[in-house]
Structure 1
Amino acid sequence: MTERKSSNYNGFRVAVAPMMDWTDRHCRFFHRQLTRRALLYTEMIVADAAIHGERQRLLGFHPAEHPTALQLGGSDPHKLAEAARIGEAFGYDEINLNCGCPSDRVQSGTFGACLMKTPALVAACVAAMKRAVNVPVTVKCRIGVDEQDPEPALDTLADAVFAAGADALWVHARKAWLQGLSPKENRDIPPLDYGRVYRLKRRLPQKFIGINGGIQTVAEAKAHLGHVDGVMLGRAAYHVPAILADVDALVDADPAPVDFAALLETMAAYADAHIAAGGRLAHVTRHMVGLFHGRPGARRFRQILSTEATRPGADSAVLRRAFAAVEDERAAEAA
């Protein structure tokens, strides 16, 4: 039997969740301008796609994104091990196994949340990935699926993956209903049960347990950190990205403030480079429309990016106009 590599997981206190169609490389680069310390996750990449697909398009990322984790989907230990090796070679800081996505597409591939029904298989996948790479291997799951009792279901999965060498377990504190609810409904309708995740941490005090699901503010994240090791922000970080400017304070005693003028210059240069390589401005700016949510100029900023960034030939001048509109409204309000 191959000797299992020891853990080198540093225990990221804050992470931005993997979100399909959202946390692509442009989103992650933008988020990194707002937080130095949060762990950023890719969208889920199916193991087969990582092995056989266009790797640079699927897995490539900007060095500035570090620390960044690759989330893989799959249920074949050999394929996941190979995909993990590929991800490590690309430079990812962590490989994560998706055991929480409830979509029909994921279920048809026998992975995602349905894997909670087969903890032994999940453990085999984790063990194979651990043997394949030197970076940490982690798992993201729900508290249970369908009619499972979350008490034994989550304990059984956690014990299995940690016995297999998992470095951390991130738990979305809801059940997933694989029949009868859409993926969107599965993010809202099953009730949150943070207490279940807290109990898991109390039972496994030496293991890294992170929590995810419905966390809207940095204050809420701080409260959770009194019970678990890490907090994962999802839709709140995407729709109101400015909250990421405050998460480093959960890790650093003296965090560096975000310089929004510098952020503009960085994102403008990044957008123009992407356009020069054949991309479109909207690929970048679609992730930025909520940056000033709740602040003066937010509506105009959103309007400019939503309409002008999609036009043929749009470049960073659009982004500069959007930022200028925010400054104008701030100045008018202060006058």
Structure 2
Amino acid sequence: MEGSLRDWVWLSSIPGVGAVKSRKLLEYFGDTHNVWNAREDELRHLPFLNKTDILNLTSVKFKQNVDRHLENIYKNDIKIITLEDELYPLYLKNIYDPPVVLYMKGAIQAEEKYLAVVGSRRATSYGLDMAKKISYELAGYGITVVSGMARGIDSFAHKGALEAKGRTIAVLGCGLDIVYPYENKKLMESIGENGACLSEYLPGTTPVAGNFPARNRIISGISLGVIVIEAGERSGSLITANLALDQGREVFALPGNVNSMNSTGTNKLIKEGAKIVTGIDDILEELNICFTEEKIKDFFTKNLKDDRLFMGLDDDEKKVAECLKLESMHIDVIARKTGFSIQLVNSILIMLELKGVVEQLPGKIFKLKF
């Protein structure tokens, strides 16, 4: 499949001619330049095209627009990865409907191992903590964490990978010249420096609702598996999980409180056969991802912060901090787990805050600062 970048960008810009039709056109005509030059009478013989598709494919307007698209792409420092590019992710290339073009800010690497971490935009503190912790540990093992840079779980998945000095990929449902949501501007910049932001949409494409289910197929398609941290009954994360199953990927889910609306979706996934995640060992074993003893030693000595975090603490302070290693916790629960009085726990938490070990969330809930 040969063709200039101009031809590829043009094909990706045709409204109504999505990934499936584009791939069929490439299979029929051989390359993008032949598609560009296809005559109306040739296109009419193709049963997968409708009249509007044929009009758009032969329209002079869309061909004239390509130079403007290329100018926007280069002005925004965006790279173009086509289906024939060696860097195009292999797993994604082999799904039913791979994007013919990926637009990229940052860099992807050959033979990266990708795992998706997704979940609710309105996540609980427990969900956010676990998204960050799991992503931190996966990145520490050299796995690239993929998510959608949405509010909530997605953002914390990216942050966890970045804090481990690992790599992460954000797949957007808009053009790469648009920051969505806008509060993630700095996060998007960090992802571009330590991984990549990807989109199948041209610069200037706004984040309309219909773009996100299509975006989700890329998140699951590029990955070995999808880890759902928290999801309500109608969460978009369940769409990603179902797409993963259709694509032959593994689906993992974090079990949650049966009384929590945010765990309805994940608990349902588990009932339907998703693998339960209690730690990254569950994921690595299921996917048969192995690491050398040297790599494991390197991770624990250079990336995990627990030992450094607890240095200089007395025994009582360590006992309280240990309670918060897996999840955020209310002060009453900390007291119950440690056996300390509320008054003692309160004074210990004040000291831990002063030492920069914990931070307080609304409602007297505390979490470790990592």
Q: Same fold (TM over 0.5)?
A: no
Q: Computing the radius of gyration over CA atoms, which structure comes out larger, 1 or 2?
A: 2
Place the TM-score, normalised by the shorter chain, in its bin. 0.3 to 0.5
Structure 2 length normalisation: TM-score?
A: 0.34
Structure 1 length normalisation: TM-score?
A: 0.36
**Bigger RCO (CA 8 Å, 6+ sep):** 1
